[in-house]
Amino acid sequence: MKLESLAESLRDYLGATRKHSIKNIVNIFDEKGTNPSFGEDAAIIEMGDEALLLAADGIWDRLMRADPEWSGYCAILVNVHDIAAMGGRALGMVDIFSSSSPELSEKVLKGMKAGVEKLGVPIVGGHIHPDTPYTAVDVAILGRVKKDSIIYSSKAKPGDDVVLGIDLDGRVHPSCDMNWDSTFLKEASIVRHQINSMVELGETHLLTAGKDVSNPGILGTLGMILEVSGVGAEVELDTIPKPASLEWDRWLKMYPGMGFIVTCKPENTARVIEVFGNHKLNASRIGKILPGAHLDIVRGGERATVFDFTKHNITGLRPVKGCNQ
């Protein structure tokens, strides 16, 4: 696939475009654009030298229809990732479960239990709708973090390197071809060790920004960092870790079971890659942060713009007004 066609395909991918409505919702609650929690993976509630991290995530109905058990598992996985992405340790979760089907309920709850056992974060309460005409699961999670160790997604700066840490030891999930499953079949101790890579990176203050790779894929997630940081980036396509069996267009759209994209000062890049490696993640410097509003991919002498944030949106969020970064 030519680079320009790849860029257009990634820009139009549903995993990214379905986030367009975020700006409209945020504007209702934060008309002046001054709340630093909006645009982050979790809300930040300061408590002295520490902060509580509060997040919530729901499961895409497309995934629920394809595999209810896998949906339940992912409901746990994605929430724990949201806390880890900000350098935090998850404490507990509550859920809202809607279903009138005993068969579907059993499958979803079986998946959620597997996620709790894998990740070691308990469900401590919740709410059930037992008479809905649909099946849905939504989870909220609470975590904690040292205030000086919070990893924001909004603080990438021109001159920073972009590093991807991701687990290539996985499989395309049998029932969800846009999910790279690298956690379900692994021992819990390995999965938890991988997640704690972000805790170490936060507490050692090696990063300027970071997020967990989510439904918009690797470059879509980087794009969300760029939006809220008010910067651009250049990514060298062939430096992105990738399973040999997958083409670029598919891999760059997939939700990986375990992946984080971060930015750091160049003098810290080798150490960041080392930390990811020590936590059994494949890591590489894949690009650099630039002034401006473009996310470009390059390969050889070829260049293409995936997002021009003067024309394109993912979340549509911009740097927080009045926030000293």
User: What is the percentage of the chain residues whose pLDDT exceeds 70?
Assistant: 96
Q: How far is CA 102 from CA 1, 130, 239, in A?
A: 45, 9, 47
pLDDT band at 325 (very low <50, low <70, confident <90, very high): very low
Count CA atoms closer than 13 A to 146's CA, side-chain side: 10
pLDDT at 323 over 60: no
* Predicted structure pTM score: 0.94
How far is CA 232 from each of CA 59, 130, 251, 290, 318, rounded to the nearest angstrom?
30, 47, 22, 5, 12
Cα–Cα nearest to 136, from 111, 104, 114, 113: 104
**pLDDT band per the 50, 70, 90 thresholds, residue 316:** confident
- Reported as a single tens digit per residue, the pLDDT across 192-213 is 999 999 999 999 999 999 999 9
Mean pLDDT of 220-241: 97
Quick one: pLDDT at residue 324? Answer: 46
Instruction: Please state the rounded mean pLDDT for residues 290-302.
Output: 96
The helix (run of H) or strand (run of E) holding residue 139 is strand 136-146
Q: How long a stretch of residues is the chain? A: 325
